[in-house]
Amino acid sequence: MDFKHDFLAALRRGEDYDALMELVRRHRSQGLSVDAAYEALQQIWFEHGFDEQREESALQDNLEAVMEKVWYGSPV
pTM of the model: 0.87
CB atoms within 10 A of CB 23: 19
Cα dihedral across residues 33, 38, 44, 46: positive or negative: negative
Task: Tell me the C-alpha distance between 39 and 55, whole Å.
Answer: 23
Burial grade of 37 (CB within 10 A; 0-12, 13-18, 19 or more): buried
pLDDT digits (tens, 9 = 90+) for 39-53: 999 999 999 888 887
For residue 9, the one-letter residue type is: A
Per-residue pLDDT, 58? 86
